[in-house]
Amino acid sequence: RRGEMAKSTQLIDNEVFRAYATYTAIVLIKMMLMSLITAYFRITRKAFVNPEDTASFGKGDSAKKYLRTDADVERVRRGHLNDLENIVPFVGIGLLYALSGPELSTALLHFRIFTGARILHTFAYLIPLPQPGRGLSWAVGYSVTFSMAYKVLKTALLL
Amino acid sequence: RRGEMAKSTQLIDNEVFRAYATYTAIVLIKMMLMSLITAYFRITRKAFVNPEDTASFGKGDSAKKYLRTDADVERVRRGHLNDLENIVPFVGIGLLYALSGPELSTALLHFRIFTGARILHTFAYLIPLPQPGRGLSWAVGYSVTFSMAYKVLKTALLL
Amino acid sequence: RRGEMAKSTQLIDNEVFRAYATYTAIVLIKMMLMSLITAYFRITRKAFVNPEDTASFGKGDSAKKYLRTDADVERVRRGHLNDLENIVPFVGIGLLYALSGPELSTALLHFRIFTGARILHTFAYLIPLPQPGRGLSWAVGYSVTFSMAYKVLKTALLL
């Protein structure tokens, strides 16, 4: 039992891996919050997509009119999808990067910039900020993931 | 060769990690099945989105009429996207959680409830069940992932 | 410090894990390129979805006409979503598979076929190739992930 425990916690004892775990948990929680924001806008804007979701508004046409798209709902959904497209590569490549033996300070720099960029991206999308606000925050996060992928391929390449 | 093998299997020898591997494989396979269900509805409802997919139905207008959206197809696709939005955080945070040294029984509780909730969510979406069936199954899975994220941040926090 | 370094790099010293890291980085970079291709088509086709993205084209109706969908843009976006639906399970199950102690040659076979199939899938989607080009490349990648999931469940099963 003891030996197993020791094994299971050795990765989490590594500082770079702890930093990876921290920032991965933060960006994934941030991504999950998009679901709550979508739900908030769906309810306040009364804009649903599934008939069973409008059943509490009555039957027939009185409920049907709430089966519609709303600009704010669609905006949050686009932000959520953009998170999936960018946070999935960060989580996958970031894990390999954390295991490729980078300096703690370099790793922290990557994780912090990515996390900051994605939080900014969400605000830029939802407020919305004028471009190139959203574009730049997207590009910064994207570049960080590419930089980590380069380190992974340089360290691990086995084709 | 032996030494390497031993190294590569040590994580998989850990019981919490084995439980994580089992339930992650199950929920990811469940998510992958959504592709097959989408294909099934696209073919039986004759509702396609790419012109090259309707070529076997002939040319011109006889094929074009099958380029359309279908309520059942769109429902499966929404279920699939909801899986991506919720199973991706589970897989990412669950890995870190499994490495953070939880009790096996606590970890199994998290993994089992999440997996059950997501399977229920799929049935609630596809049948469909009246609300709050789908909403509750979503919320249960969501809460399990948050609970694991809390444990990860408590164990690993390094900002 | 030394000890930690050794710990952090042991997984990356394992050949199967290095192969996993290499192909995972490649398919995730491939997926990320879909964002650039989407941006390229949005700009050359002048087809945007957010009002703030068309502000540089002037105000009022002169900018509003660029808020439209374009067949090429939508095609790339469908390819991107299909990547998410298929590459996410590969990355998650592939990691568990790499840790389940497969032979290097078997693992390389899985990773190479999956990566080749997904690159073919992208070309089949974007050119587009006549069916069943895209369908087959999708099915090959899908089957590889299932094969790895089977090995993971056979090795790790703990329900």
Q: Using a CB-CB distance cutoff of 8 angstroms, which residues of chain A are in contact with residue B153?
A: 22, 25-26
| Averaged pLDDT for residues A19-41 | 98
Pick A85's closest partner by Cβ from C5, C35, C49: C35
Q: Using a CB-CB distance cutoff of 8 angstroms, which residues of chain B are in contact with residue C11?
A: 7
Task: For the beta carbon of residue B123, count every other beta carbon within 10 angstroms.
Answer: 14
pLDDT beyond 50 at C4 = no
Assign A144 a pLDDT band (cuts: 50, 70, 90).
Answer: very high
Could you read off the pLDDT of C139-155 as tens digits, one per residue?
999 999 999 999 999 99
Q: Using a CB-CB distance cutoff of 8 angstroms, which residues of chain C are in contact with residue B88?
A: 88
* Domain C1-44+71-158, CATH class in plain words: mainly alpha
Q: Which chains touch C (3 or more CB pairs under 8 A)?
A: A, B
Could you read off the pLDDT of A74-119 as tens digits, one per residue?
999 999 999 999 999 999 999 999 999 999 999 999 999 999 999 9
Q: Using a CB-CB distance cutoff of 8 angstroms, which residues of chain B are in contact with residue C128?
A: 50, 52
Q: Evaluate if pTM is beyond 0.90.
A: yes
> pLDDT tens digits, chain B, 159 residues: what are they?
344 444 444 787 899 999 999 999 999 999 999 999 999 999 999 999 999 999 888 777 788 899 999 999 999 999 999 999 999 999 999 999 999 999 999 999 999 999 999 999 999 999 999 999 999 999 999 999 999 999 999 999 998
CB contact under 8 A, B12 and C99: yes
User: Which residue in this structure is represented by tokens 């359309």?
Assistant: B68
CB contact under 8 A, C10 and B7: yes
Closest CA to C155 of B98, B94, B13, B8: B13
User: What single-letter amino acid sits at C31?
Assistant: M
SS3 A67: strand
Q: Tell me the average pLDDT of chain C.
A: 92
CB contact under 8 A, A159 and C22: yes
Could you read off the pLDDT of C97-140 as tens digits, one per residue?
999 999 999 999 999 999 999 999 999 999 999 999 999 999 99
Q: Using a CB-CB distance cutoff of 8 angstroms, which residues of chain C are in contact with residue A89?
A: 28-29, 31-32
Assign A158 a pLDDT band (cuts: 50, 70, 90).
Answer: very high
More confident residue, A60 or A127: A127
Residues of A with CB under 8 A from a CB of C: 10-11, 13-17, 75, 78, 81, 84-86, 88-89, 92-93, 95-96, 98-101, 128-131, 134, 142, 145-146, 149, 152-153, 155-159
Res A61: pLDDT? 79
CB contact under 8 A, B152 and A53: no
| Averaged pLDDT for residues A68-77 | 97
CB contact under 8 A, B17 and A8: yes
Q: Where are the domains of chain B?
A: 1-44+71-158
ipTM of this predicted structure: 0.92
CA distance B80 to chain C (A): 8
CB contact under 8 A, A153 and C15: no
Assign A4 a pLDDT band (cuts: 50, 70, 90).
Answer: very low
Pick A158's closest partner by Cβ from C19, C31, C87: C19
Res C10: pLDDT? 73
d(CA A128, CA A78): 12
Q: Using a CB-CB distance cutoff of 8 angstroms, which residues of chain A are in contact with residue C17?
A: 99, 156
pLDDT beyond 50 at C53 = yes
User: In Å, how far from its chain's centre is CA C7?
Assistant: 29
Closest CA to C92 of A41, A33, B24: B24
More confident residue, C60 or C73: C73
Res A104: pLDDT? 97
> Crossing angle for the helix pair A71-98 and C15-44, nearest 10 degrees?
150
Res B8: pLDDT? 41
d(CA A17, CA B92): 13
Assign A56 a pLDDT band (cuts: 50, 70, 90).
Answer: confident
Res C59: pLDDT? 77
